Amino acid sequence: MEPAPTRLPGPGAPTPHTEPGEPSEERKFRVLVGVTGSVAALKLPLLVSGLLEVPGLEVAVVTTERAKHFYSPRDIAVTLYSDADEWEMWKQRSDPVLHIELRRWADLMLVAPLDANTLGKVASGLCDNLLTCVIRAWDRSKPLLFCPAMNTAMWEHPITAQQVDQLKAFGYIEIPCVAKKLVCGDQGLGAMAEVETIVDKVREILSQLGGSQHS
Ligand code: PCO
**Can you list the domains of the chain with their CATH numbers?**
29-173 (3.40.50.1950)
Q: 48 with 59: CB under 8 angstroms? A: yes
Distance from C-alpha of 54 to C-alpha of 31, rounded to nearest angstrom? 11
Q: Is the CB of 150 under 6 A from ligand 1?
A: yes
Q: How confident is the model at residue 17 (pLDDT cuts 50, 70, 90)?
A: very low
Q: Give the three-state DSSP class for 187.
A: strand
pLDDT of residue 210: 84
184: annotated active-site residue: yes
Query: Is residue 21 pLDDT above 80, yes or no?
Result: no
Q: Give the three-state DSSP class for 181.
A: strand
Which residue of the set 127, 133, 177, 184 is catalytic? 184
Ligand 1 atom with the shortest distance to the CA of 154: 18
Ligand 1 atom 17, closest CA: 184
Give the predicted TM-score (pTM) of the model.
0.89
The mean predicted confidence, pLDDT, of the chain is 90
Q: How confident is the model at residue 26 (pLDDT cuts 50, 70, 90)?
A: confident
pLDDT of residue 194: 98
Q: Give the three-state DSSP class for 172.
A: coil
CA-based R_g, the chain, Å: 17
What would the pLDDT profile of 27-59 be if each residue is shown by its tens digit? Answer: 999 999 999 999 999 999 999 999 999 999 999
pLDDT of residue 24: 53
Q: How confident is the model at residue 5 (pLDDT cuts 50, 70, 90)?
A: very low
What would the pLDDT profile of 66-83 be if each residue is shown by its tens digit? Answer: 999 999 999 999 999 999
